[in-house]
Amino acid sequence: MKKHLSILCLVLSLALFCLPAATAAEVPSQPLGKVYVIGETESGKTVKTAAPDAAKMDNLDRYELYVEKEPVLSVGSNAGEATGAAAIPKFYHVKFMIPDTTEEVYLTGLRAQYVEEIQQAIIDSYLGGENFDLTGLGFIDTEKTLKQDGDEGLCWAASAADILTYTGWAAKAGFQDEDEVFDVFAKEFSDNGSHQHNGLAWFFNGAVLRANLGLLGSKALNYPYSGGYLKGYAYDMVCDFEYLESVDAMNRMSDYLENGYGISLGIVISDTQNRSGGHATTLWGLVTDTALDRNDPKRFKSFFMTDSDSHFSEGDRRDAPDVLSLYHLDSSSGKFAFRYYDDVTGVFDDYTYLVPYNKNVPHETDFGTMRDKTRYPDLAVYQQYLEINGAAADANAVYESGANIGFGCSFANTADKRYRANAVLETTVTDQKGKALFSNSDSRNLTLNYTEFTDSLNYTAKQVPAGDYTLQFTINPKHTVTEAYYYNNTRTMTFKVRDSYLSGDFNGDGKVNIQDATDLQRYLAEFTNAGSKPKERGNVNGGALNIQDVTDIQRSLADISTTAAVGEKKLHEVI
């Protein structure tokens, strides 16, 4: 991805208006983390409990700032730790509402000294009505240089360097910052476009995907003798990309961002003459409208990013300023677009996400693996899915017992080496006690080129009873084929199946009548016992199980209006 023109940074200025002071500062009874409070005492004196300065924040992972009972600012951090040749840096994220609106700001990638600046600006805003300005906060933002035949086409590598630094992987590999990582990319690759996902594959495993297919794009100059800084980790286990073609994809990207993942944006750019191109930037935050439904694309109002094209350096990229930009999103066309600069429009195309480093991230432990994706193939289970009675299903949902549950997966050769051999796929579904509900072994003769996927394999378990289940797929289970990695050969997912009931059917006889109201009343008076399932069946109004549930059942039976869900079909929460 490549863009020739540099841009001017848009300055963000969010006005936080002064709220009227109240009589006393109060804090919710169970706040998250440490709490700092500002407000006014009964004597009329302003109290400002000092929020932590940068020097104190090294040992503080999260806290909240309150004015009165209202949360003003929530601050959290990733967990920095010492590893390898460098320490994993600690970065902070902030979340707050813009006063007098329903818009919420989430911003990450902050260093400690800038969190202090933001929180002080918020305190001042609430106490004195001053403006809140997020300009010049020293974000992770490596820049291109103006050297001829240097790095003009390497925006994909620059953004990869940004998220490698943010997530801690660069430090794990011994690099100090994003500029040092980008220097290596610029030295090892020709000055052409590519994709961030390819850059991460090279950084982790030394593999340049599709490198031998003769496609246009950036080439690794010393291939395959470069990259591979973290060969204990298969790149396909820590990163991936998805096209931003729906609000569901936007929601997934937002969730990844708030869970500490590094996010690199792929955008399509076009001018008034419809000339188009591609570019890669780095996402640091989103502004969302909390009043709108999660499935409403208009919920996404603005986004924050850094851009390797925003301030070219004359020589050393370290001399360029690190600048954050805010852009307003327009989803009216069905896509997520923004005015990039002048008459140029940017449209979200895809995003690449990178798991944040910590010592618990799975890695290869089998000494029989080659850990070389340039000389050995590497089969990996890649996608898993469920179908309920033939229709696509959400694995996070709860399904009714007795349904036919279909499941399947696809797998890929994630190495830059052709795979031409037999492959065995083992599939099992087990319940919470480890008993097998379904087991199958399927053998296929495959020819998979570089990064090529197989067709999905499909199976069905009929009339599945209530339970908690684990679905597991394993390719090449006996390691009869030598691969670069084995730990990516197995993937699991869980799903839940529950019995159904009629809301209000306390005694479980399959109908709601006056006997249910009587039995529930006896239980509440402690004349009889009831397990968890009768308690679920008797709870018709969603609150605590009490005499109101009895009243609602009686009203429904007497055809008196009630908002309670009497007689509705529901699924048990317990097995």
Convert the pLDDT of each residue in 148-157 to its tens digit.
668 999 999 9
pLDDT of residue 40: 43
Question: In terms of pLDDT, which residue wins out, 422 or 209?
Answer: 422
Half-sphere exposure of 299 (CA within 13 A, CB side): 15
Mean local confidence (pLDDT), 111-135 = 64
**Confidence category of residue 305, pLDDT binned at 50, 70, 90:** very high
62 confidence band (pLDDT: 50, 70, 90): confident
Q: Is the pLDDT of residue 490 over 90?
A: yes
Give the distance between the most distant pair of CA atoms in the chain.
87
Exposure on the CB side of residue 102, measured as CA atoms within 13 A: 8
Which pLDDT score is estimated for 354? Answer: 98
pLDDT of 9 over the 70 cut: no
Q: Which of 14-28, 393-407, 459-473 has the lowest mean pLDDT?
A: 14-28
Beta-carbon contacts of 350 under 8 Å, excluding residues fewer than 6 positions away, are 241, 242, 243, 244, 265, 266
pLDDT for the residue numbered 28:
31
pLDDT of 242 > 60? The answer is yes
- Sequence length of the chain is 575
Residue 396: the pLDDT is: 81
Mean pLDDT computed over 486-511 = 95
Residues sharing a CB contact under 8 Å with residue 77, sequence separation 6 or more, in sequence order: 60, 61, 62, 90, 91, 92, 93
- The better pLDDT of the pair 454, 554 is held by 554
- Can you tell me the mean pLDDT for 255-282? 88
Q: How would residue 113 be classed by pLDDT, with cut points 50, 70 and 90?
A: confident
Q: What is the pLDDT of residue 136?
A: 64
State percent of the chain over pLDDT 70: 81
360 burial type by CB count under 10 A (0-12 exposed, 13-18 middle, 19+ buried): exposed
Q: Which residues touch 158 (CB under 8 Å, ≥6 apart)?
A: 142, 143, 144, 151, 178, 182, 185, 280, 308
pLDDT-based confidence at residue 235 (cuts at 50, 70, 90): very high
Residue 454's pLDDT is 72
The whole-number pLDDT of residue 64 equals 75
Strand 239-243 and strand 398-400: the pairing is: unpaired
Check whether 45 has a pLDDT greater than 80. no
Averaged pLDDT for residues 40-67? 55
**Region 298-320 average pLDDT:** 89
Q: Is the peptide bond before 321 cis (omega within 30 degrees of 0)?
A: no
Q: What pLDDT is stored for residue 211 in this prediction? A: 59
Question: Mean pLDDT across the stretch 246-251?
Answer: 96
pLDDT bracket for residue 25 (50, 70, 90)? very low
Q: CA nearest 241: which of 385, 483, 451? A: 451
Sequence-distant (6+) residues with CB within 8 A of 432 are: 467, 468, 469, 575
Q: Which residue has the higher pLDDT, 189 or 217?
A: 189
CA–CA distance, 571 with 541 (Å, rounded to integer): 15
Question: Where is average pLDDT lowest: 206-220, 353-367, 510-524?
Answer: 206-220
- The pLDDT assigned to 130 comes to 47
* Residue with token string 């086409």: 153
Q: In which band, very low, low, confident or very high, does the pLDDT at 97 lie, cut at 50, 70 and 90?
A: confident
Residue 22 has a pLDDT of 23
What pLDDT does 53 receive?
55
Would you place residue 48 in the very low, low, confident or very high pLDDT band (cuts 50, 70, 90)?
very low
Identify the pLDDT of residue 473: 95
> Is the pLDDT reported for residue 444 higher than 60?
yes
Q: What is the mean pLDDT of residues 184-195?
A: 94
If 0-12 CB within 10 Å is exposed, 13-18 middle and 19+ buried, where does residue 496 land? middle
Angle formed by the axes of helices 196-205 and 178-188, to 10°?
90
Residues 6+ apart with CB under 8 A from 86: 171, 172, 174, 175, 176
Higher pLDDT, 84 or 283: 283
**pLDDT value of position 27:** 29
- Among 58-72, 232-246, 317-331, 441-455, name the one with the lowest average pLDDT: 58-72
CA distances from 298 to 54, 205, 254, 269, 370 (A): 36, 39, 14, 21, 48
pLDDT score of 17 more than 50 = no
Of 445, 460, 466, residue with least CA distance to 533 = 466
Cα 54–Cα 60–Cα 61 angle in degrees, nearest 5: 115
Highest mean pLDDT of the ranges 10-19, 171-180, 440-449: 171-180
What's the first-to-final CA gap in the chain, in angstroms? 51
Task: With CA atoms as reference, report the closest residue to 352 among 415, 278, 454.
Answer: 278
Query: Angle 329-331-337 (CA atoms, 0-180°, nearest 5)?
Result: 50
Q: According to the model, what pLDDT value does residue 80 have? A: 60
Q: What token pair was written down for 185?
A: 């990319």
- The conformation of residue 163, written as its DSSP 8-state character, comes to H
> What's the pLDDT at 72?
76
Identify the weakest region by mean pLDDT among 40-44, 178-182, 388-392, 535-539: 40-44
Per the CB < 8 A criterion, the answer to whether 37 and 66 are in contact is yes
Mean pLDDT of 443-455: 76
The confidence band for 43, taking pLDDT boundaries of 50, 70 and 90, is very low
pLDDT at residue 274 is higher than 80: no
Q: How far apart are CA 382 and CA 301, in angstroms?
A: 33
Full set of structural domains in the chain with CATH: 17-129 (no CATH), 155-354 (no CATH), 379-498 (2.60.40.10), 501-571 (1.10.1330.10)
Tell me what pLDDT residue 410 has: 87
Cα(289)–Cα(525) distance, integer angstroms = 46
Which residues does residue 235 pair with via DSSP β-bridges, in sequence order?
none
- Within 10 angstroms of residue 294's Cβ, the number of other Cβ atoms is 12
Report pLDDT for 564: 93
pLDDT, the chain, mean: 83
pLDDT for residue 133 is more than 50: no
User: Dihedral, CA atoms, 252, 254, 258, 263, nearest 10 degrees?
Assistant: 90
Query: Scanning the structure block, which residue is given the tokens 């967990």?
Result: 79
Residue 458: the pLDDT is 84
pLDDT number for residue 149 = 65
Calculate Rg over the CA atoms of the chain. Answer: 28
